[in-house]
């Protein structure tokens, strides 16, 4: 949706809504990526990952947070596996009652 806005000089300027600007930006990025070769896409992805890594906090506190987050994800994964194992065990015909 294009919004009309009146300026001080009496001229009307057209302004796009935030959703339209975002959609237009996404379409522009998709078109740029489709025009790139596979090597160029990989290099762009590598640059993006390098930029994200540079923005990530560093230092002992950040390292400790990453270790805690990794431990929590591993614990969640183990709980999920145990639950799946329990559910599969209850589906077996020879499963003992009470599982």
**For 13-27, what is each residue's pLDDT tens digit?**
666 778 899 999 999
Beta bridge partners, 12, equal: 6
**For 44-71, what is each residue's pLDDT tens digit?**
999 999 999 999 999 999 999 999 999 9
> In 3-state terms, what secondary structure has residue 19?
helix
What is the greatest pairwise CA distance in the chain? 84
**For 84-96, what is each residue's pLDDT tens digit?**
999 998 887 775 6
Q: Please tell me the pTM assigned to this model.
A: 0.43
Position with higher pLDDT, 2 vs 74:
74
According to the model, what pLDDT value does residue 65 have? 95
Break the chain into its structural domains and give their ranges: 58-92
Read off φ and ψ for residue 96, nearest 5 degrees.
Answer: -65, 150
């Amino acid at each position: 949706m294009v919004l009309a806005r009146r300026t001080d000089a009496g001229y009307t300027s057209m302004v796009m809504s935030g959703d339209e600007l975002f959609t237009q930006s996404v379409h522009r990025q998709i078109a740029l990526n489709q025009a790139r070769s596979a090597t160029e896409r990989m290099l762009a992805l590598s640059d993006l990952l390098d930029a994200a890594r540079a923005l990530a906090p560093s230092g002992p506190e950040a390292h400790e947070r990453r270790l805690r987050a990794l431990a929590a994800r591993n614990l969640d994964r183990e709980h999920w596996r145990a639950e799946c194992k329990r559910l599969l065990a209850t589906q077996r015909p020879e499963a003992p009652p009470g599982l």
